[in-house]
Structure 1
């Protein structure tokens, strides 16, 4: 098994738990405030792990390009979380989560367009199935 697979599977489990915990946690709370609280928890957790593992030693080696794209990634993540929590506040997890997972198909297309990755027939079929599954689950 490839080394990344267990982490990807755990990511999926934690993402599913995020939706459930968030839906319960945002009752009676502004979704932007809930996102801010969640972000502080993630900030403390991520920096705690980075410090404990000694990963911060690599900070001086980061280039301007690296900083730019990590900041852009952070901004995209923040926008995603704000929109996700607002969607969870307004709709059911059973419909919000599948639409959110369209990011998988969109990532495949963006990787082809901006990273020069190739999209195999299998990848294209998988993306189409994700789109079809989203349509069935969210609007079916």
Structure 2
């Protein structure tokens, strides 16, 4: 049984949120004495080494199979987006409090919903849209409260 079938997507998403929260706290402490771009570089190297070790240990490099041009293009674009996001996030953490930076960064949730609606044809339920609106409202309140 693969790890993808052991847990639901909701469990993985919750773990992602926990690790993202820890990342913000660790990054805020780690970026305090160095340039934010250098901090992003160090973080990226750690992620690269860690993920490489995990893929080797799981034997996933050999099981990859052929990768299409479309897949390469969109993974490269996603990687560039991740890099840009991390650079901006670390700069924001360097300049502002983590308790304010992280919620504003989570406006990405709102943007993902809007982009998924527009480009992928995904249709959130009414409750989904209400939740998305509440996330946006929360971020706006944080910006104007600070």
TM-score normalised by the chain length of structure 1: 0.94
Q: Does 1:101 align with 2:106?
A: yes
Q: Does 1:61 align with 2:66?
A: yes
Q: Does 1:49 align with 2:54?
A: yes
Write out the 4+ residue segments of structure 1 that deviate beyond 4 Å after TM superposition: none
Deviates more, 1:117-126 or 1:29-38: 117-126
Alignment partner of 2:85 out of 80, 88, 100: 80
Gaps of 5+ in 1: none
In 2, Cα distance between equivalents of 1:77 and 1:83:
10
| 1:33-59, Cα deviation, whole Å (9 max, x unpaired) | 000000000001111111111111244
Aligned CA RMSD, in angstroms, stands at: 1.5
In 2, Cα distance between equivalents of 1:69 and 1:35:
22
2:61 alignment partner, SS class = helix
Tell me how many residue pairs correspond in the alignment.
Answer: 140
The within-5 A match list for 1:1-140 is 3-140=8-145
TM-score normalised by the chain length of structure 2: 0.91
In 1, Cα distance between equivalents of 2:70 and 2:104:
31
Over 3 Å counting, the alpha-carbon distance change for 1:132 and 1:124 in structure 2 is same
In 2, Cα distance between equivalents of 1:119 and 1:89:
35
- Flag the structure with higher helix content: 1
Gaps of 5+ in 2: 1-6
